[in-house]
Amino acid sequence: MIDLRLYLVTDTALASRRGLVPTVRDAVDGGVTAVQLRDHTVGDEEFVMLGRLLARALAGSGVPLVVDDRVHLVRAIGAAGAHVGQRDLPPLEARALLGTGAVLGLSCSSADQVRSASELPPGTADYLGLGPVWPTRSKPDHARPIGPDGLAELTRQASRAAMPTVAIGGIDASRTDEVMRAGVGGIAVVSAICASDRPADAARDLRVRVDAARSGADR
């Protein structure tokens, strides 16, 4: 089971001042629990190269590397699995390509999409990425933002189907508490860490907030 508490989605351009690998390594030191490699600006060959660098950097950390969209490159990279959106490879096809042991995440931004995900055969999707909660510049073609209330509704729906969830879209430290109150298992961030001059400190702050919110919800 993937730990969704603090899920880093990479942005190579935002992390360019420090470098992608050092940024991710520092973020993991600060408390990131999962990493997704996302870069729509490069071809498959360069994507594999970036993925292998990250896989080596994460080796032994216990933090899995997930590949955005390019399911066919998971094995070449040595990643733990993939994450697909509604316009990417359909989840059943993605699962068939990955096999049973890999992680597969699925993005959902509406009640219909969560419902369809819940009706997939057991073991197809391991978790749902819900959002975007707010507008974000890190993904210009994102779906219409669902807001905190929409997030809470989708989370309730996913919970009824016993599907783990992580929220994404415009989330930073100041919004973490509000997002976690929706009942998600964690937060996914991009610029909150990748654009930071101190990614370890940024990750540490986010992780403390997430863990505190989860502890409060358990009481």
Rounded Cα–Cα distance for residues 25 and 18 (Å)? 11
Q: What is the pLDDT of residue 219?
A: 55
Rounded Cα–Cα distance for residues 37 and 43 (Å)? 13
Amino acid (1-letter code) at residue 168: I
What 8-state DSSP symbol labels residue 144?
A: P
Q: What is the pLDDT of residue 216?
A: 80
Rounded Cα–Cα distance for residues 127 and 107 (Å)? 9
Q: Which residue has 């502890």 as its token pair?
A: 215
pLDDT tens string for the chain (219 positions)? 899 999 999 999 999 999 999 999 999 999 999 999 999 999 999 999 999 999 999 999 999 999 999 999 999 999 999 999 999 999 999 999 999 999 999 999 999 999 999 999 999 999 999 999 999 876 666 678 999 999 999 999 999 999 999 999 999 999 999 999 999 999 999 999 999 999 999 999 999 999 999 988 765
Rounded Cα–Cα distance for residues 65 and 212 (Å)? 25
Q: What is the pLDDT of residue 74?
A: 98
pTM here is 0.96
Rounded Cα–Cα distance for residues 179 and 185 (Å)? 10
Which CATH number fits the domain 6-218, given the four candidates 3.30.1360.70, 3.20.20.70, 3.40.50.300, 3.30.70.260? 3.20.20.70
Q: What is the pLDDT of residue 77?
A: 98
CB burial of 56-90 (b: ≥16 within 10 Å; e: otherwise) equals ebbeeeebbbbbbbbbebbeebebbbbbbbeebbe
Amino acid (1-letter code) at residue 77: I
What 8-state DSSP symbol labels residue 64?
A: P
Rounded Cα–Cα distance for residues 57 and 50 (Å)? 11
Rounded Cα–Cα distance for residues 43 and 120 (Å)? 31
Assign 102 to helix, strand or coil: coil
Q: What is the pLDDT of residue 175?
A: 97
Helices (H), ranges, the chain: 20-30, 44-58, 74-77, 91-98, 111-118, 147-160, 176-180, 191-194, 199-218
How far is residue 91 CA from its own chain's centroid?
A: 16
